[in-house]
Structure 1
Amino acid sequence: MDWRLTLLYLVVGALVAAWLLWRFKNRRMIQMTNKLPGPPPLPLLGNALVFMNRPEKILDKIGELMEKHGDIIKFWLGPELNIVVKNPTDIRVLLSSSKVNQKGPVYDCMIPYIGGGILSGGPTWRSHRKIVIPSYNKKTIENFFPVFNKECEELGKIISQKGSVTFDCYDDVLRSTTQSVNQTLMGLSKEDSENVTRLEEFIFITHDMYNLIFDTMTKWWLHVPPLFWLLGKKKQQNFYMQICDELSEDIVRRRKKALEVSVPSEECMGIVDRLILSGELTHKEIKEETLTLFTSSQEVAGKIAAGVLLFLAHLPEWQEKVYKEIIEVVGPDGPITGDQLKQLENLDMVYKETLRFFPIGGMIQRTVMEDISIRDGSITLPAGSSLVIPIHHVHRDPRYWENPNKVMPERFLPENAKKRDPNAFVPFSLGPMDCLGRTYGTALIKTVVVWVLRYAKLEPAGSLDDLRLNIAISVTSYDGYNIRARPRNERING
Structure 2
Amino acid sequence: MDLLKGCIISVVLIIVYWFLWRWRNKRVLMLATQLPGPTALPILGNALMFMTKPEEQLKKIAALLEQYGDYIRFWLGPDLVIVIKDPNDIRCLLTSNKMNQKGPAYDYMTPFIGKGILTGGPKWRVYRKIANPSYNKKSIETFKDVFNEEAEALTNVLKRRDNNIFNVYFDVLQCTTRSVCRTLMGLSTDDIAELKYLDEVIHETQNIYSLIFTKMTRWWLQIPFIYWLTGNYRKQLYYQRIVDGLITEIIEKRRKSLSNEENYGVSVVDRFILNGLSETEIKLESFALFTTSQEASAKIASGVLLFLAHLPEWQTKVYEEIVQVMDDDSVSEEQIRGLENLDMVYKEVLRYLSIAALIQRTVEEDVTISNGKFTLPSGTVVAIPIHEVHRDSRFWDEPLKIKPERFHPENQKNRDPNAFIPFSLGAMDCLGRVYATTLIKTIVIRVLRHVELSAEGKLEDLDLHVAISVKFA
Same fold flag (TM > 0.5): yes
Corresponding residue number in structure 1 for 2:367: 372
Amino acid at match of 1:270: S
* Counterpart selection for 2:280 from 281, 284, 297: 284
Q: Matched residues in 2 for 1:194 and 1:463: separation?
A: 39
CA deviations over 1:388-414 (Å, ceiling 9, x no partner): 000000000011111111111000011
Distance 1:386 1:263 in 2: 45
Residue by residue, what CA displacement relative to the aligned partner does 1:98-140 show, whole Å, maximum 9, x if unpaired?
Answer: 0011000111101111111111111111001000100111111
Shift of the alpha carbon at 1:462?
Answer: 2.9
Other-structure match for 1:482 = none
Q: Indicate the residue corresponding to 2:331 in structure 1.
A: 336
Residue 447 of structure 1, CA deviation: 0.4
**In structure 2, how many angstroms separate the alpha carbons of the residues matched to 1:160 and 1:58?**
41
Question: In the superposition, relative to structure 1, how do residues 78 and 320 fare at CA in structure 2: closer, same or farther (>3 Å)?
Answer: same
> CA separation in 1, counterparts of 2:289 and 2:100?
19
Q: 2:407 is matched with which residue: 407, 412, 418?
A: 412
- 1:317 is aligned to 313
Check if 1:400 corresponds to 2:395.
yes
Deviation, structure 1 residue 63: 0.2
Letter of the structure 2 residue corresponding to residue 152 of structure 1: A
Contact 2:47 2:77 in 1 (8 A): yes
**Partners of 1:350 and 1:409 within 8 A in 2:** yes
Of 32-41 and 140-149, the range deviating more from structure 2: 32-41
Matches within 5 A, 1:77-226: 77-226=76-225
Query: In the alignment, which residue of structure 2 is the partner of 1:491?
Result: none
Partner SS for 2:98: helix
Residue in 1 that maps onto 2:271: 274
After TM superposition, give the deviation of residue 208 of structure 1 in Å.
1.2
| DSSP 3-state at the match of 2:44 | coil
Q: Deviations over 1:223-263 (max 9, x none)?
A: 22122222222112111111111111111111111111014
Who is 1:460 aligned against? 455
Q: Secondary structure at the match of 2:414?
A: coil
Shift of residue 265 of structure 1?
5.3
Give secondary structure in 1 for the equivalent of 2:452.
strand
Unaligned runs of 5+ in 1: 479-494
- 1:451 counterpart = 2:446: yes
Cα pair distance change 1:263/1:278, threshold 3 Å: farther
Task: For residue 377 of structure 1, give the secondary structure of its aligned residue in structure 2.
Answer: coil
Q: Distance in 2 between matches of 1:71 and 1:344?
A: 36
For 1:278-326, what per-residue CA distance to the aligned partner results, in whole angstroms no more than 9, with x for missing partners?
12x1011001011000000000000000000000000000000000111
User: CA offset at residue 193 of structure 1?
Assistant: 1.6
What corresponds to 1:346 in structure 2?
A: 341
Structure 2: how far apart are the matches of 1:156 and 1:194? 20
CA distances 1:408-451 after superposition (whole Å, capped 9, x unpaired): 10000111111110000000000000000000000000001001
Check if 1:299 corresponds to 2:295: yes
Give secondary structure in 1 for the equivalent of 2:40: coil
**Is 1:251 aligned to residue 250 of structure 2?**
yes
Q: Contact between 1:19 and 1:43, CA under 8 Å: does it hold in 2?
A: yes
What secondary structure does 1:64 align onto? helix
Q: Structure 2 stretches of 5 or more lacking a match? A: none
Q: Secondary structure at the match of 2:80?
A: strand
Corresponding position: 1:26 with 2:25: yes
Which whole-Å CA distance do the structure 2 matches of 1:195 and 1:468 have between them?
38
**What code does the residue aligned with 1:235 have?**
R
Give distance in 2, aligned partners of 1:224 and 1:414.
51
Shift of 1:39: 1.1
The one-letter code matched in structure 1 to 2:310 is H
TM-score, normalised on structure 2? 0.98
- Shift of residue 27 of structure 1? 1.3
**Alignment root-mean-square deviation, CA:** 1.0
Mapped contact 2:34–2:374 kept (Cα < 8 A): no
- 1:391 equivalenced with 2:390 (yes/no): no
Shift of residue 221, structure 1, vs aligned partner: 2.2
Q: Is the 8 A contact 2:329 2:446 kept in 1?
A: no
For 2:143, what is the secondary structure of its paired residue? helix
User: What residue number does 1:490 align with?
Assistant: none
Tell me, yes or no, if the aligned pair for 2:357 and 2:385 is still in contact at 8 Å: yes
Instruction: For 1:43 and 1:229, locate their aligned partners in 2 and report how far apart those are by CA, in whole Å.
Output: 29
Specify the alignment match of 2:59 in structure 1. 60
Give yes or no for the alignment of 1:425 onto 2:420: yes
* C-alpha distance in 1 between matches for 2:251 and 2:429: 26
Distance 1:13 1:411 in 2: 59
CA distance in 2, matches of 1:277, 1:182: 19
Deviation of 1:34 after TM superposition, in Å, equals: 0.8
SS of aligned partner of 2:368: strand
What SS class does the counterpart of residue 293 from structure 2 fall into?
helix
How far off is 1:375 after superposition? 2.4
The whole-number CA distance in structure 1 between the counterparts of 2:249 and 2:26 is 51
- The Cα shift of 1:264 comes to 2.4
TM-score by length of structure 1 reads 0.94
Q: CA deviation at 1:55?
A: 1.0
Counterpart contact for 1:32–1:380, Cα < 8 Å = yes
| SS in structure 1 of the partner of residue 415 of structure 2 | coil
Which whole-Å CA distance do the structure 2 matches of 1:129 and 1:169 have between them? Answer: 32
Question: Given that residues 51 and 218 in structure 2 are in contact (C-alpha distance below 8 angstroms), is that contact kept between their aligned partners in structure 1?
Answer: yes
Task: Give secondary structure in 1 for the equivalent of 2:355.
Answer: coil
What amino acid does structure 1 have at the position aligned with 2:271? Answer: R
Q: Are 2:38 and 1:39 aligned?
A: yes
State the one-letter code of the partner of 2:353: F
Question: Do residues 327 (structure 1) and 327 (structure 2) align?
Answer: no
C-alpha contact 1:160 1:457 (8 A) present in aligned 2: no
Q: How many residues align?
A: 473
Residue type of the alignment partner of 2:34: K
